[in-house]
Amino acid sequence: MILTNLDDILNIYETEENSNIYIDLDDDLIKLNLKVIYQKEDFDISIYKQTFKIKEKEIYTLEVTITSGKNNPILYELKIDIKNILKDYFKEIYIMEDSQNELLCTSLYYKIHKIENLFRSLINNYMLRKYGIGWFKNNITKKYQSKVTEYST
Protein backbone atom coordinates (compact mmCIF):
# COMPACT_ATOMS: atom_id res chain seq x y z
CA MET A 1 0.00 0.00 0.00
CA ILE A 2 1.31 3.45 -0.81
CA LEU A 3 0.05 6.17 1.50
CA THR A 4 -0.72 9.36 -0.37
CA ASN A 5 -2.43 11.67 2.11
CA LEU A 6 -3.54 12.03 5.71
CA ASP A 7 -6.94 10.54 4.87
CA ASP A 8 -5.19 7.33 3.82
CA ILE A 9 -3.57 7.13 7.25
CA LEU A 10 -6.85 7.76 9.03
CA ASN A 11 -8.83 5.32 6.87
CA ILE A 12 -6.31 2.51 6.74
CA TYR A 13 -7.34 -1.11 6.72
CA GLU A 14 -10.07 -1.91 9.21
CA THR A 15 -11.52 -5.42 9.29
CA GLU A 16 -13.18 -7.61 11.92
CA GLU A 17 -9.83 -8.97 13.09
CA ASN A 18 -8.28 -5.50 12.93
CA SER A 19 -10.93 -3.30 14.50
CA ASN A 20 -9.03 -1.66 17.32
CA ILE A 21 -8.85 1.74 15.63
CA TYR A 22 -10.19 4.28 18.06
CA ILE A 23 -10.05 7.97 18.81
CA ASP A 24 -9.85 9.40 22.31
CA LEU A 25 -10.89 13.04 22.44
CA ASP A 26 -9.98 15.05 25.52
CA ASP A 27 -10.06 18.80 24.91
CA ASP A 28 -7.35 19.27 22.32
CA LEU A 29 -5.83 15.80 22.59
CA ILE A 30 -6.37 13.13 19.97
CA LYS A 31 -4.87 9.66 20.00
CA LEU A 32 -5.20 7.10 17.22
CA ASN A 33 -4.00 3.52 17.48
CA LEU A 34 -3.88 1.68 14.16
CA LYS A 35 -2.89 -1.73 12.88
CA VAL A 36 -1.56 -1.29 9.37
CA ILE A 37 -0.44 -3.64 6.64
CA TYR A 38 2.26 -1.95 4.59
CA GLN A 39 3.99 -3.90 1.81
CA LYS A 40 2.45 -7.11 3.23
CA GLU A 41 3.96 -6.51 6.69
CA ASP A 42 2.07 -5.73 9.94
CA PHE A 43 2.78 -2.51 11.82
CA ASP A 44 1.22 -0.77 14.80
CA ILE A 45 0.98 2.98 14.43
CA SER A 46 0.11 5.31 17.27
CA ILE A 47 -0.64 8.94 16.42
CA TYR A 48 -0.93 11.40 19.29
CA LYS A 49 -1.97 14.99 18.54
CA GLN A 50 -1.80 17.77 21.05
CA THR A 51 -2.76 21.42 20.69
CA PHE A 52 -1.47 24.23 22.88
CA LYS A 53 -1.00 28.00 22.69
CA ILE A 54 2.16 30.05 22.76
CA LYS A 55 1.70 33.83 22.67
CA GLU A 56 -1.92 33.43 21.50
CA LYS A 57 -0.80 31.25 18.60
CA GLU A 58 -2.05 27.67 18.37
CA ILE A 59 0.66 25.07 18.06
CA TYR A 60 -0.03 21.49 17.04
CA THR A 61 2.26 18.62 17.86
CA LEU A 62 1.95 15.18 16.40
CA GLU A 63 3.80 12.22 17.83
CA VAL A 64 3.88 9.18 15.56
CA THR A 65 5.13 5.86 16.91
CA ILE A 66 5.55 2.94 14.54
CA THR A 67 6.30 -0.54 15.84
CA SER A 68 6.68 -3.96 14.34
CA GLY A 69 7.05 -7.31 16.04
CA LYS A 70 10.46 -7.67 14.45
CA ASN A 71 13.32 -5.59 13.13
CA ASN A 72 11.65 -4.87 9.82
CA PRO A 73 13.74 -3.39 6.99
CA ILE A 74 10.72 -1.72 5.35
CA LEU A 75 9.98 0.24 8.54
CA TYR A 76 12.27 2.96 7.21
CA GLU A 77 10.22 3.20 3.99
CA LEU A 78 7.01 3.46 5.99
CA LYS A 79 8.50 6.24 8.16
CA ILE A 80 9.51 8.20 5.05
CA ASP A 81 6.06 7.76 3.47
CA ILE A 82 4.36 9.01 6.62
CA LYS A 83 6.78 11.93 6.94
CA ASN A 84 6.18 12.89 3.31
CA ILE A 85 2.43 12.86 3.87
CA LEU A 86 2.64 14.88 7.07
CA LYS A 87 4.87 17.58 5.59
CA ASP A 88 1.89 18.69 3.49
CA TYR A 89 -0.09 19.33 6.69
CA PHE A 90 2.54 20.79 9.02
CA LYS A 91 4.77 23.83 8.63
CA GLU A 92 7.74 22.11 10.28
CA ILE A 93 8.57 18.51 11.13
CA TYR A 94 11.09 17.59 13.81
CA ILE A 95 12.10 14.00 14.39
CA MET A 96 12.54 13.84 18.15
CA GLU A 97 13.58 10.22 18.50
CA ASP A 98 14.30 7.40 16.10
CA SER A 99 14.64 4.15 18.01
CA GLN A 100 14.93 2.07 14.83
CA ASN A 101 18.06 3.96 13.82
CA GLU A 102 19.34 3.70 17.38
CA LEU A 103 19.03 -0.09 17.22
CA LEU A 104 20.66 -0.13 13.79
CA CYS A 105 23.54 2.08 14.97
CA THR A 106 24.05 -0.09 18.05
CA SER A 107 24.23 -3.17 15.87
CA LEU A 108 26.53 -1.51 13.33
CA TYR A 109 28.83 -0.07 16.01
CA TYR A 110 29.33 -3.57 17.43
CA LYS A 111 30.29 -4.87 13.97
CA ILE A 112 32.65 -1.94 13.31
CA HIS A 113 34.24 -2.47 16.73
CA LYS A 114 34.82 -6.16 15.93
CA ILE A 115 36.35 -5.33 12.53
CA GLU A 116 38.55 -2.63 14.08
CA ASN A 117 39.88 -5.14 16.63
CA LEU A 118 40.53 -7.71 13.88
CA PHE A 119 42.53 -5.12 11.88
CA ARG A 120 44.42 -4.04 15.00
CA SER A 121 45.35 -7.65 15.71
CA LEU A 122 46.37 -8.28 12.09
CA ILE A 123 48.54 -5.14 11.93
CA ASN A 124 50.15 -5.73 15.32
CA ASN A 125 50.94 -9.36 14.49
CA TYR A 126 52.41 -8.43 11.10
CA MET A 127 54.51 -5.56 12.47
CA LEU A 128 55.73 -7.65 15.41
CA ARG A 129 56.85 -10.48 13.11
CA LYS A 130 58.42 -8.10 10.58
CA TYR A 131 60.15 -5.61 12.96
CA GLY A 132 60.13 -7.34 16.36
CA ILE A 133 59.50 -5.97 19.82
CA GLY A 134 59.45 -2.18 19.90
CA TRP A 135 58.18 -1.96 16.32
CA PHE A 136 55.89 0.95 17.13
CA LYS A 137 58.53 3.00 18.93
CA ASN A 138 61.23 2.23 16.36
CA ASN A 139 59.21 2.53 13.12
CA ILE A 140 56.51 5.15 13.72
CA THR A 141 57.28 8.88 13.65
CA LYS A 142 57.33 10.76 16.98
CA LYS A 143 54.54 13.05 15.73
CA TYR A 144 52.24 10.08 15.10
CA GLN A 145 53.27 8.40 18.38
CA SER A 146 52.19 11.60 20.20
CA LYS A 147 48.81 11.56 18.46
CA VAL A 148 48.26 7.92 19.41
CA THR A 149 49.20 8.67 23.03
CA GLU A 150 46.82 11.68 23.13
CA TYR A 151 44.02 9.63 21.61
CA SER A 152 44.55 6.71 23.99
CA THR A 153 44.42 8.81 27.17
Residue 25, SS3 per DSSP: strand
Amino acid letter, residue 150:
E
Please compute the mean of the pLDDT values over residues 86-94 and round it to a whole number: 78
Instruction: Place 150 in a pLDDT band, splitting at 50, 70 and 90.
Output: confident
Residues 6+ apart with CB under 8 A from 115: none
Element (H, E) at 8: helix 6-10
Pick 3 or 53 by higher pLDDT. 53
For 90, phi then psi, to 5°, come to -125, 140
Residue 116, SS3 per DSSP: helix
pLDDT of residue 141: 92
Please compute the mean of the pLDDT values over residues 137-145 and round it to a whole number: 90
pLDDT of residue 10: 47
Please compute the mean of the pLDDT values over residues 52-81 and round it to a whole number: 79
Instruction: Place 21 in a pLDDT band, splitting at 50, 70 and 90.
Output: very low
pLDDT of residue 138: 92
Pick 55 or 125 by higher pLDDT. 125
Mean pLDDT (the chain, rounded): 76
